[in-house]
Amino acid sequence: MVRLVTVVVCPERKVFWADGEGPAKCAAPDHDHQRREVHRHHDIVELPDGAVVTAVSFDSADPYARDRQPDHGLYLDQAWQPPWPHDHLDWPDFGVPADPDAMITILRRVLDRARAGERVELGCLGGHGRTGTALAALAVLTGVPPAEAVTWTRTHYCPQAVETPAQATLITHLPPTCQN
């Protein structure tokens, strides 16, 4: 399910916030604040081996509203503090994890849970860069060649997934030991 939201972006301070949902993160009158329509994610993604994960973006209006809570979540931003069992992976917005081996280790645990039939959720703030990159890594772990994983993710999840060249490079350079 995808929901459209208007966000305000301040390029000078490199911050953004949902329009009308709380105070502005920048009130400088001389900054060029831009309004953009973005979409929110709460999407079921079936990986090539049949494992299923739910990819989400953070909805500040009601971030933990679910018909049914996940059994476990992996969140790539500290804004997430859900009431269900979860892990966080330190991963800067628009960047890549400092420790790619730790990323693969935690994604293998997510994959094991999904393969065991648990309802697993994966998300960051916008649901594109970090979430998309993590989905691409999961695609590699389930058999997609690294050179094809970003395209697979954009086709099976969202065309805007994997936002930066560094994120795409991380996926295309995953070692062969990451492939099942």
pTM of full prediction above 0.85: no
The predicted-structure confidence for 31-85, as pLDDT tens digits, reads as follows 988 776 666 788 999 999 999 999 999 887 788 999 999 999 999 999 899 999 9
In the chain, % of residues over pLDDT 90: 63
What are the structural domains, with CATH classification, of the chain? 41-178 (3.90.190.10)
Per-residue pLDDT at 10 exceeds 90:
no
Closest CA to 89 of 71, 101, 79, 102: 102
